[in-house]
Structure 1
Amino acid sequence: MLTCAPAGGTHPAASQACGELSSVAGEVAALSEGSGSCILMYDPVTVTLRGWWQGEEKYFRATYSNSCVLHRQTHAVFDF
């Protein structure tokens, strides 16, 4: 669970995740890919986000080839 304004909930990096979401107006798909490299291993991870951002309902679902790629693309948002 993540809440923003103020940052909180059970998310272990709530402040960082809220900051990242704030930079893209709550659009997870708009987060820029982070630096670093990941191994080429196919171990798919599917994530889902459902909630509200400044009164607008948001839904995001994506499958990444492995958890490293997930974290490189979504940063702290799914870092739990």
Structure 2
Amino acid sequence: MLRRLTLTAVASLAALSAAAPAATAVSPLVPLPPLPVLQDDWLGGQETQTRLTVTVSESGNPAADGVFELECGPAGGSHPAAQRACDLLDEAAASGENPFVPTDRNAMCTLQAGGPASARVQGTWEGETVDARFSRSNGCEISRWNKLVPVLPSAR
């Protein structure tokens, strides 16, 4: 969307520049201000804001199962631990880690079962689209889930 807005602004500027010679013959050239499309704060941070839908089932904690909205910057939504979840996601972004990346297919994982819990996280994190699924089907998936607590609930 930002690219489309930028291209539209550039095309409009080019069209105005083509019509400007007749107008500038009478008045001196005045520099144009910077295009707001190219400035980070023009959209009010919407491009980097985090908005996620977290769907959890069979976690072993009936209060933790369901669909929760999580918004960060500022923390809010129906998520029961919104501030702590946003803090965790901010720490991951600051360290350059993406907690939503699936486990490598070639990873050697312990064959342990962590229960039937499953989760899906959809939305936007740091301006990137997220559609991640989580389970507790083996050691790697259990570790991946645990690293995302409190975005995901502690499973029993």
Give me the TM-score of the superposition, normalised by structure 1: 0.66
SS at match of 1:27: coil
Q: Give the percent of matched residue pairs that are identical in Structure 1 and Structure 2.
A: 32
Which one scores higher on RCO, CA 8 angstroms, separation ≥ 6?
1
In our comparison, the structure showing a higher alpha carbon Rg is 2
Over aligned residue pairs, what C-alpha RMSD do you find? Answer: 2.7
Runs of 4+ in 1 over 6 A off after TM superposition: none
Question: Compared with structure 1, are the counterparts of its residues 29 and 54 closer, same or farther at alpha carbon in structure 2 (3 Å cutoff)?
Answer: closer
The residue that corresponds to 1:9 in the other structure is: 77
Shift of residue 41, structure 1, vs aligned partner = 5.6
* Structure 1 portions without partners, runs of 5+: 31-39
1:29 Cα deviation (Å)? 4.1
Q: 1:22 to 1:44 in 2, by over 3 A?
A: same
Q: What displacement does 1:44 show? A: 2.0
Which structure has more helix as a fraction of its residues? 2
Instruction: Output the amino acid matched with 1:24.
Output: A
Does 1:46 pair with 2:118? yes
TM-score, reference length from structure 2: 0.37
Unaligned runs of 5+ in 2: 1-68, 102-111
Aligned length: 69
